[in-house]
A = this chain, B = another copy of it.
Amino acid sequence: MLGYSIAIRRLQCLVRFLVGQNKNRLHSTMTTVPGIEADALNVLRSITPTLDLTRHKGQAGKIAVIGGCREYTGAPYFSAISALKIGADLSHVFCTKDAAPVIKSYSPELIVHPILEESYSVRDEDKRSISAKVLAEVNKWMERFDCLVVGPGLGRDPFLLDCVSDIMKHARHSNVPMVIDGDGLFLVTNCLDLVSGYPLAVLTPNVYEYRRLVEKVLNCEVDSQDGTEQLLSLAKRVGGVTILRKGKSDLISDGESVKSVSIYGSPRRCGGQGDVLSGSVAVFLYWARQRVAELEPRSNPTMLGGIAGSILVRKAALLAFENKRRSTLTGDIIECLGMSLEDICPVNRHR
C-alpha cells in the first residue's frame, strides 16, 4: 500500500515535470476579433514544409535583406537571422560599406554584401555610375532569391533610397516577392508606384507607419472604430498588395479579405521586433508559394505568409517574455523562434 502511494507520488512528480516542460505557461491572450480571426496555427502548419534527407541547400529558402547603413546595423541582422532560425537555408544582407563589417561580426551565418552607398560618400558626378554598379551587383543575385525584405535599418539617405527603388523595380520585374518594413515603408509611402498592383508585396506597418500610409493613400485619418474596413480599402487602393498592420491584434488584408491574429503576443515593445516579423514573413511567404497549389481552399500566399509570420513571432515574443519579463530584448525573442515553431508544427508531424 505504502509502495503504491510512493509510486503514485513519484509518477505525479514526473508528470508535473513533463507537463511543465511541454506547456506554454502564460496562456494565449484570446482577445480575438470576432469573425475574422485567422486559423493561424493551422495556416502555419499547412505551409511549413516537411524535412527529409533528400533535400538540398537552398530548397528551404534563400532570403535577402536590403538594409543596414552607417546608423543602423541591428535591424537587418535581426531580420536576416530570424529567417535562418525559422528554417531558411541562406540569408543575405545588402547594406552600406560602413555597416557590413559590423553586421558580419554579429554572426558568421549571414552572407553580407557591402555594396550600398550613402550621399556623404559619393560625389554628384559619380552618382549615376555608382547607382548602376549597385544595381548590377544586386541583380547578379536576384534570380536566386525566394524573397526580399526591403527596409530594416535602411535609413533615409536620398541617394541610397534611389538605388533601393531601382532594386525594387528589378525585383518586381523578376517576380521576386518583397516584404517591406521600416524605412522601406517611408520610401513606398512616398512612391506608391513601387508596389502598387504588385500582388507579391507585403507591407508591415506599425501604428505610425500605418497612419502615414492611410493619410497618403486614403487622404483621411485612421479610423479607430472600424479598422478592418479601412485596412481593406487601403489594401484595395494600393492594388491588392498585402498589408499586415501590427498592433494588439495584427490585422492582415490583401484588399479581398481581412484576417486578424490575436493570440499570444507580449506587452514588451523593445525595438527590433518588427525586423523579426519581416524576416519571418519572408520565409513563410516563400513556403506558402511553394504549397499554395495543393491547399484548399485556394488562398493568397502573401496572406498566408503574413498570418504565419504574425502567429510565430507573437508566440516567440510571449515565450521570451515569460522568461525575461521587462528585460526581454529582441535577441531573446529570436532565440525562442525555433522552439515556438517546433511547438506549433513539430518536425516529425504527419500532415
- Name A residues whose Cβ lies closer than 8 Å to a Cβ of B: 1, 4-5, 7-8, 11-12, 14-15, 18-19, 21-22, 25-26, 29, 31, 51-60, 70-75, 77-78, 84-90, 98, 101-102, 104-114, 206-208, 248, 265-274, 324-331, 337-339, 341-342, 346-348
Chain B residues within an 8 Å CB radius of A107: 74, 331
A275 to chain B, nearest CB (A): 9
When all copies of this chain in the complex are counted, the total is: 2
On chain B, the residues within 8 Å of A26 by CB distance are 347-348
Q: Are B331 and A108 closer than 8 Å at their CB atoms?
A: yes
Q: Quick check: B21 and A329 within 8 Å, CB to CB?
A: no
Pick the contact of A271: B85, B90, B274 (CB < 8 A): B90
Partner of A4, one of B8, B70, B267: B8
Q: Determine the distance from Cα of A19 to Cα of B21 in the docked complex, in whole angstroms.
A: 10
Q: If the complex has contacts A15-B11, A85-B329, A348-B25, are A77 and B108 also in contact, measured as CB distance less than 8 A?
A: yes
Looking at A85, A265, A325, A342, the one whose CB has the most chain B CB atoms below 10 A away is A325
Query: In whole angstroms, how far apart are the Cα atoms of A89 and B272 in the complex?
Result: 9
The CA of A248 and the CA of B54, in the complex, are separated in Å by 6
CB nearest neighbor in B for A60: B269
> Which of B53, B89, B272 is A270 in contact with, Cβ under 8 Å?
B89
Q: Please tell me which one of the listed residues B22, B104, B347 contacts residue A325 in the complex, with CB atoms under 8 A apart.
A: B347
How near does chain B come to A338, taking the closest CB pair, in angstroms?
Answer: 3
- Across the interface, name the chain B residue whose C-beta is closest to A91: B271
> Is the Cβ of A341 less than 8 Å from the Cβ of B329?
no
| Inter-chain contacts of A248 with B (CB < 8 A) | 53-54
